[in-house]
Amino acid sequence: MAVVVGVSLKAYFGRRRARVWFGEIAGIARGNAAVRSGEVSVFVAPSYLQIDDARGYVDGTGIALAAQDVSAFEPGAYTGEVTAAELAESGVTYAEIGHAERRRLLGDTPEVVAAKTAAALRHRLTPVLCIGEVERQDAAAAARESVDQLRAALADAPAGRVVVAYEPVWAIGAPEPAPPTHVAAVARAVRGALDADADRAGSSVVYGGSAGPGLLARLGDDVDGLFLGRFAHDPAAFAAVLDEAADLAARRSSR
């Protein structure tokens, strides 16, 4: 299984700044042999307005496109919505769903998250399903809460691969990520839930929440990769994480 590295731009960049960044990361990806070979799988989630801009830069680099959200509805009279069907038509292959900011600020309840997950899978988009506990707690409790969120999101979803991004809410935007032992315990529980679901073959578990350079080397085989936010807005940091992912992929393939 490939090591996964995802990046969300959130709403930090305007289109002009985003184009510069796309050009920089496209060059980095072209120069990384593990990305070219598929041993490291990379996706980037720009804003909706930046998707076509991004595609012009990343086509042929090994970088896939993600959306930062997706409508729960099929095409129709839903003003302001962006459907999974339209995203797929636009070359998007991943859809971020259930991020803590959307749950907290924009009313994405567990029922909405489940509906969006199902819509994405119906149109062969891979959900990047964000889960994680709100308050800091011990790893066993965090694992139970995260698995409950995962099962709720997938309850009525069609078969298909998902990328589960474990992002403890208390670690998002914090100076440091969650401790590796905590991440490992939760990731093992999430992996176990995925492995028990025959419909989720090929799924991955990645960590997000103040993730940056140096973390993947510390987490090692406990996760399948990272979901990056602000730290990857620096192309040098993005390049460093790709190198760490390539090293992890090489170690795995040598066993």
Residue 25 phi, psi dihedral angles, 5° rounding: -75, -30
Residue from 5, 54, 66 nearest 34 by CA: 5
Q: What integer pLDDT is reported at residue 234 of this predicted model?
A: 96
**pLDDT (average), residues 104-125:** 98
Domain boundaries, the chain: 3-253
Dihedral, 91, 223, 175, 101 alpha carbons, nearest 10:
40
Task: Assign 254 a pLDDT band (cuts: 50, 70, 90).
Answer: confident
pLDDT digits (tens, 9 = 90+) for 55-113: 999 999 999 999 999 999 999 999 999 999 999 999 999 999 999 999 999 999 999 99
Q: What integer pLDDT is reported at residue 111 of this predicted model?
A: 98
Residue 255 above 80 pLDDT? no
Q: Catalytic residue at 123?
A: no
CATH topology of domain 3-253: TIM Barrel (3.20.20)
Residue from 96, 13, 18 nearest 54 by CA: 18
Q: What integer pLDDT is reported at residue 176 of this predicted model?
A: 87
Q: Return the number of other C-beta atoms located less than 10 Å from residue 124's C-beta.
A: 12
Q: What integer pLDDT is reported at residue 174 of this predicted model?
A: 84
pTM for the model: 0.96
pLDDT digits (tens, 9 = 90+) for 214-242: 999 999 999 999 999 999 999 999 999 99
How long is the chain? 255
Q: What integer pLDDT is reported at residue 164 of this predicted model?
A: 98
Q: What integer pLDDT is reported at residue 24 of this predicted model?
A: 98
Q: What integer pLDDT is reported at residue 36 of this predicted model?
A: 96
| Residue 32 in tokens | 């990384």
pLDDT digits (tens, 9 = 90+) for 141-188: 999 999 999 999 999 999 999 999 999 999 998 888 999 999 999 999
β-bridge pairing 225-228 and 3-8: parallel
Q: What integer pLDDT is reported at residue 112 of this predicted model?
A: 98
Q: Which of 99, 123, 182, 233 is catalytic?
A: 99
- Report how far apart, in Å, the C-alpha atoms of 95 and of each of 38, 47, 91, 165, 182 are: 20, 12, 11, 12, 26
- Report how far apart, in Å, the C-alpha atoms of 42 and of each of 45, 74, 111, 130, 144 are: 10, 27, 29, 17, 29
Task: Assign 8 a pLDDT band (cuts: 50, 70, 90).
Answer: very high
Q: What integer pLDDT is reported at residue 71 of this predicted model?
A: 98
Q: What integer pLDDT is reported at residue 82 of this predicted model?
A: 98
Q: Catalytic residue at 99?
A: yes
Q: Which of 39, 133, 145, 167 is catalytic?
A: 167
Burial class (CB in 10 A: 0-12, 13-18, 19+), 161: middle
